[in-house]
Structure 1
């Protein structure tokens, strides 16, 4: 992972008064202020249509805010710079669907961002194979997407996002379409990767249970227009596993977050 001179706990991303109005007049997000620290795991939680994915895409630079500023650490001396001027390869993005190239093997799908950056084939192959192994897909390098289950396709997508060794990983409801058993397994694997790689994670979900299991912070959003109404901490220690998922502490956190979500939906 690149060393950008960012102290532990310092802000990696800041959003200041960020709003987004689309060309059709829809005000999707209004007045979002948020700072995300180095190595943090933050979930954006809220009902459909509250602007979670819009916020994530603005942080990624896929769309621009209408008003406000998004800053990202990584400028000279670790200073904040406009997100549009972030260091190349510093952000990984995992979409709701795996978005794999059907004509390419798992290895070639994961190699894609490295090859686009100009890395030679040999080094890219080695990095891609290591990324696949890190998500539990060693031995599936030559498999095509049609031969993979939904969970395996999402693992390939995560490997592709991580292969550039980003400091910031953005995930837009990546496990929403998966069955519960696969979803739980991938939640566990994601936390293992996060603890090993120490990237900063921002995870969009509308599952209270998933957000509590994964996150240090849960940012609750309300809709019409999308805005932050609560920013809550999950103080349970890591690593987390099945003991946490079945504990009274987990149930208590879920009740607390559920109540916050209910309040947000009434806003």
Structure 2
């Protein structure tokens, strides 16, 4: 992102001169107060809304009509956004159907994506038969079925209970390590960001800008033991201080 600003039609300045470099294979969390433009930045990266000024530059020569690299971006929304009339398999098939791939040709990829989130036995179930956590797993499988290089996740676990949230955090980390996908993850949670990320970008209040860009030394295994470790405590303290400073910042970056 290069000097990206976003002004909505009602005159609200959501982002101002936001610049961010993303390195292949990173797990980046965007953290900041409500209304600071985290989700707006994510949607601009995804091509779901245009920037008012500034540019998004991609390391790819295959750019489609929306300015995105072909087949390289997956998106997980805050809600599962599943089609209630479709089975789990039908929901995960959607992006491949839109790409013109027949269901028979896509079936193996769909089942692989479902297996990656532990739902291969629920392919014929309908969303109404699933728990909240299972619905979000379907949404993640749908985003992964195209084998994207970049996975964008917009507070996907905010509405879930803590136990389900921690389990899905572990699942996302496992998928990230297995696939090599680059992840940009929007969250309000200091604890979630410190657990998941190897880099946290703290944004200041609207208009959104990068306030602090913080690499984390989370090279070890992140599991139940890590959640009670000194390294995790120190990381959450460091991130909490940065978020506090960002909320009270009058302007500028550091």
Q: Which TM-score tier does this pair reach, normalised by the shorter chain?
A: over 0.9
When residues 82 and 227 of structure 1 are mapped into structure 2, their CA distance, relative to the original with a 3 A threshold, is farther
- Of the three residues 199, 205, 212, the one matched with 1:223 is 205
- Rounded to whole Å, the distance in 2 between the matches of 1:186 and 1:33 is 30
- Which of 51, 57, 60 in structure 1 is aligned with 2:43? 57
Mapped pair 1:173 → 2:155: yes
Distance 2:231 2:221 in 1: 14
Report the TM-score, using the length of structure 1 for normalisation: 0.91
Residue 143 of structure 1: SS of its match in structure 2? coil
Q: Which has the higher strand share?
A: 1
Partner of 1:31: 17
Q: Aligned to 2:120, what secondary structure does the other structure show?
A: coil
TM-score by length of 2: 0.95
1:107 aligned residue (83, 89, 92): 89
Q: Hey, what does 1:237 align to over in structure 2?
A: 219
In the other structure, the counterpart of 1:16 is: 2
What stretches of structure 2 of length at least 5 have no aligned partner? 250-254
Once the two structures are superposed, residues 115-136 of structure 1 have per-residue CA deviations (whole angstroms, 9 ceiling, x without a partner) of: 1101122121221111011001
8 A contact 1:98–1:156 mirrored in 2: yes
Q: Residue 266 of structure 1 aligns with which residue?
A: 248
- Shift in Å at residue 86 of structure 1? 2.6
Distance in 1 between residues matched to 2:120 and 2:238, nearest whole Å = 40
Q: Is the 8 A contact 1:59 1:83 kept in 2?
A: no
Measure the CA separation in 2 of the matches of 1:55 and 1:192. Answer: 25
| Over 2 Å off, 4+ runs | 81-88
Counting matched residue pairs gives 249
* Structure 2 contact 211–246 (Cα < 8 Å) conserved: yes
Which shows bigger deviation, 113-122 or 156-165? 113-122
- Shift of the 208–251 alpha-carbon distance from structure 1 to 2, 3 Å rule, reads same
CA distance in 1, matches of 2:186, 2:99: 27
Deviation track 1:151-203 (CA, whole Å, cap 9, x = no partner) reads 00000000000000000000000000000000000000000000000000000
**Are residue 131 (structure 1) and residue 146 (structure 2) matched?**
no
2:21 counterpart SS class: strand
Structure 1 residues 213-236: Cα deviation after superposition (integer angstroms, max 9, x where no partner): 000110000112111100001112
| Aligned mates of 2:49, 2:69 — CA distance in 1 | 17
RMSD: 1.3
The residue that corresponds to 1:11 in the other structure is none
CA gap 1:238/1:86 in 2 versus in 1, 3 angstroms: farther
Alpha-carbon separation, structure 1, partners of 2:52 and 2:161: 37
